[in-house]
Structure 1
Amino acid sequence: MKFDKKSVKKILVLRYRSIGDLVLCNPALETIRATFPGARIDFVVDEAFESLFYKNPNIDRSIPFSRGSKGEGKIKSLLRELRFILRIRAEKYDMVVDLHCGPRSAMLAWLSGARYRLGYPFRFRNRLFYNIHSPFDDGKTRPNDSHSVNNMVKILSPLDPAEPVEKNLFLTCRDEDRKFASDFLARNGVLPGETVMVIHPGASPDIRRLPVEKMGEVLRWLCNETIIKTVLAGTEAERDFIKQMQEIAGRERPVAIGFTLGQFAALLEAGDMFMGNDSGPVHMAAALKKPVVVFFGPGDPEVWAPWGTDAVVLRTARMECMPCSQYKVQCPYGGNHCMNRIPVEDIKNAVTSLMAKIPKLN
């Protein structure tokens, strides 16, 4: 299909989830905005993650997608999806850019009624549902050897895109969330001017977690031998893990559980450093320009390393099974073998090196 760039006045971008992917898609949004400066740009995102796009200058509107309530019947689910499709069709978009390229987003692109539909054709359905196919560098079925930021920007290559000068991440917080985070720290005895590290020990799947014994040992060192004030953050499902960390450390620290995504972002913004596993919160911290210590095991840092901030990526010496599927394959070594081989001393050295980059400590 011949592409007429001048005819594109209204664009829909699709990227439903998850936290890391959504934060990392901003350079692609920057590129779309630079390529079509006069166009309206709407963005479909799971409603659970919509706050990540608060005041994002590269979109005009976020459109939350609801996955329905727990126990929703098949008929209600089908009707909900149909209403959403009809809502999208009523907007009469000129072009859909699918940054997700999954079955749901590819189908929505096809049913949107848009003249141009762009995405990676790595499945038969995608070749059918898109009429502008993003090329791969070397004939692979999909890109997986470049950072996720670059992979999403590459989707736009058929559009003769205007490359942004910098591929920036973007995340900002609401004032009410900032106040919530400030009040939380004050209630927990953190004084203005003290250095705060937010630690997020969770990850999905669990095989990405640094073992609790190592997390607890690092927490004990932070509490006993540094001036850093630590805050432990996670979900309700990670409460027991966090409790075990504190028991190993022999110290109780403020625990941030049950925060909204916006409140958690504000907590990261209020802090000075972040430590965690290969997971979405790492990318939120990076978007807020916080120095990051991140642990990698089954995941690939070439694709998922923090972007655009001071970061120390820690992983064990390369094993022949790295990176692994982590979602579908039972680890032949048992559990998170690769994570367990990251030395605690390396973690201490990483934290110390990043402390030197925090102005208030120097």
Structure 2
Amino acid sequence: MRGWLRKEWLRRMLLLLIYLLGLPGSWLAQRRARGSFSLAQAPRLLLLRPDHLGDLVLTTPALTALKERCPTAEVTLFVGPWSQAIVKGHPAAGRVLTCAFPGFRRGSQGALSPYWLLLRLARQLRRERYDLAINLRPDFWWGAALLYLAGIPHRVGYALAPGRRFLTHALPFSEGEHSTCSSLRLVSAALQLLGQAPLAEPFTPERYPLLFGPTAQEEEQATALLAKAGLTGETPFAVIHPGSGAAVKLWRPEGWATCAVTLLRRYGLRLVLTGTQQEQALLEEIATLVHQQLRANEAPPVLLSALSVGELAAVLRRARLALGVDSGPLHVAVSQGTPTVALYGPADPRIFGPWGNPRRHVVILASERCPACPKLPCGRLDIPPQALPLHPCVRLIPEERVLAAVEQLLPARML
């Protein structure tokens, strides 16, 4: 307890020091904004989003809306290297900067290293003389402090402590609101500061769709990989992406194997298993379980584990159906217009669920609360391996629920 109190005291002192260090720059920035900020010129905007793949996909409607409403703006996107592929080709991305943001990169780091990084990046951003910045991650106080120390005169974000003090325009945060709506609300507030009308509501997937597209080269590579596996344009297939960055989200390999065999026999769909190179062992385990159930004349699953994000999108766009747990690739599948079945447990699908037509995207939420959690969904993703047995909510989802969801989305047999 004493150790926690010491860390909390040190954190508060460092936050106060950051605030005091930024006061002169903030005052000068406000004077510059009053004296020279003109919407007749192209405003320089900085949008900060440190999150991983799926969160960036869910942010793309807000980026599109900003570009459509303020086409002359010079927009810089500041994201993690783990998700830059999502925004590099986006029409709003005039420039993309990357940083391994503290709290989002894996591996240990010194207690003071996030603060040294904060000071160094703020000095670099100050030279860019941005007119307005948006902290798109609601609870990312480090990002709000960065924008403050960088001397950006207009700083938009959500009024969550301790980042609230570093913002000039802090919006009330709505608990339980979808992540895409939260981003759209921030962009709407920024547009009003730029002299534009707010975004039209309600915020819906039809009005503000996801936007991510593979390059022509990635399309060609995906076509070649599928053709090599015997999956030409005439061969219907489904994709199962079983992996996730958080082990607590994973389902049972034998459950995926049962679904794969059912997709083949009941719907005539070949199976493609996708994942990262780190997930190769999981894909092979599922493929082995499928092989054990196949008849002699039935086609084995195809494993694709070395795809770029764009190549994965191109594969998903050709699929009749995509299945998986709560993960970035499932949001990529939604962005490609492919029907999805997604298994959720610790993450709240009201906030992080598919941003698409609910008739085409079925969410299966775990129905049994974990012994170590007070509620479902609990929001806990950083479960250490030794504690996973106490968090079985996703693993307890029965195959029958997944197959019933498939039944909603597919006709009886596709061949």
Please report the TM-score for the alignment, with normalisation by the length of structure 2: 0.75
Does the alignment pair 1:347 with 2:397? no
Residues 1:52 and 1:71: Cα distance change in structure 2 (over 3 Å): closer
CA contact (8 A) 1:297 1:315 kept: yes
1:190 alignment counterpart: 231
Report if the CA contact (8 A) 2:52-2:82 is conserved: no
Contact 1:120–1:134 under 8 Å retained in 2: yes
Which residue of the other structure, out of 363, 379, 398, is the alignment partner of 1:325? 379
Once the two structures are TM-superposed, the CA of residue 311 in structure 1 deviates from its matched residue by 0.5
Residues 138-157 of structure 1: CA deviation (Å, up to 9, x unaligned): xxxxx331111112223345
Alignment partners' CA distance in 1, 2:100 and 2:186:
25
CA displacement at 1:263 relative to structure 2: 2.2
Q: 1:93 aligns with which of 118, 130, 140?
A: 130
Partner of 1:110: 148
Q: CA RMSD in A?
A: 3.4
Identity, in percent, stands at 24
Q: For residues 19 and 226 of structure 1, do their structure 2 counterparts lie closer, same or farther at Cα, with a shift above 3 Å needed?
A: same
Counterparts in 2 of 1:153 and 1:76: CA distance versus 1, 3 Å: closer
* Partner of residue 175, structure 1: 216
How many residues were matched structurally?
353
Q: Name the residue aligned to 2:327.
A: 279
Q: State the Cα distance separating 1:34 from its structure 2 match.
A: 4.5
Return the alpha-carbon distance in structure 2 between the equivalents of residues 148 and 72 of structure 1: 28
More deviation, 210-219/170-179: 210-219
Cα pair 1:297 1:339 within 8 Å, conserved:
yes
Amino acid in structure 2 at the alignment position of 1:162 = P
Segments of 5+ residues of structure 2 without an aligned counterpart are 1-29, 202-206, 295-299
Bigger shift: residues 84-93 or 254-263: 84-93
Q: Which residue of 2 aligns with 1:237?
A: 278
Residues 342 and 78 from structure 1, CA distance in 2 versus in 1: closer, same or farther, beyond 3 angstroms? Answer: closer
Q: State the secondary structure of the residue aligned to 1:41.
A: strand
2-structure distance, mates of 1:79, 1:239: 37
From 248, 257, 261, give the equivalent of 2:309: 261
* Pick aligned residue for 1:16 from 50, 56, 61: 50
Name stretches of at least 5 consecutive residues in structure 1 with no aligned partner.
137-142
Work out whether residues 291 and 311 of structure 1, in 8 Å CA contact, stay in contact via their aligned partners in 2: yes
SS at match of 1:255: strand
C-alpha separation between the residues in 2 aligned to 1:13 and 1:188?
Answer: 41
> Are residues 1:162 and 2:195 paired?
no
Structure 2: how far apart are the matches of 1:347 and 1:76?
Answer: 44
Name the CA shift for 1:356/1:84 in 2 (closer, same or farther; >3 Å): farther
Q: CA deviation at 1:315?
A: 2.3
Change (3 A) 1:328 1:47: closer
Give the structure-1-normalised TM-score.
0.85
Q: Which moved more, 1:87-96 or 1:51-60?
A: 51-60
State the distance in 2 between where 1:157 and 1:178 align: 34
Task: State the shift of 1:180 in Å.
Answer: 1.3
* Change beyond 3 A, Cα 1:264–1:104: farther
Cα offset for 1:128?
Answer: 2.4
> Do the aligned partners of 2:189 and 2:198 also contact (CA within 8 Å) in 1?
no
